[in-house]
């Protein structure tokens, strides 16, 4: 393995560890607060963020089934609204 590549990988790992330490130190300072929205810095480092998760992808068949089921739900809802209005 190339020595320069090993050094680059170790530096990247060190940077990741330093970022983790910063996050843990900040969490230790704000330990007692649990209510409300998380601080902005947590979103910046990606802690607790669901933005990194890939969106769900449905097949065309599944989307069609979902659309048909929703149409049935709306039809039932409209029917009950019409009978209640009479």
| Exposure class string for 32-69: b at 16+ Cβ within 10 A, else e | eeeeeeeeeebeeeebeeeeeeeeeeeeeeeeeeeeee
**In this predicted model, which residue has the larger pLDDT, 55 or 44?**
55
Instruction: Decide: 43 and 49 in contact? Cβ < 8 Å.
Output: yes
Nearest alpha carbon to residue 48 among 26, 69, 67, 29: 26
Question: Would you state the pLDDT for residue 84?
Answer: 85
Structure confidence at residue 12 (pLDDT): 94
* Residue pLDDT, tens place only, 1-49: 699 999 999 999 999 999 989 888 888 777 666 677 777 777 776 554 4
Q: Residue 69's pLDDT is what?
A: 97
The encoded tokens of residue 2 equal 């190339």
């Amino acid at each position: 393995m190339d020595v320069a590549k090993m050094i680059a990988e170790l530096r990247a790992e060190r940077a990741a560890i330093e970022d983790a330490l910063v996050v843990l130190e900040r969490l230790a300072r704000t330990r007692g607060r649990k209510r409300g929205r998380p601080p902005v810095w947590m979103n910046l480092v990606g802690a607790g963020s669901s933005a990194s998760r890939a969106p769900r992808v449905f097949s065309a068949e599944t989307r069609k089934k979902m659309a048909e089921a929703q149409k049935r739900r709306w039809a039932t809802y409209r029917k009950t609204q019409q009978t209640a209005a009479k």
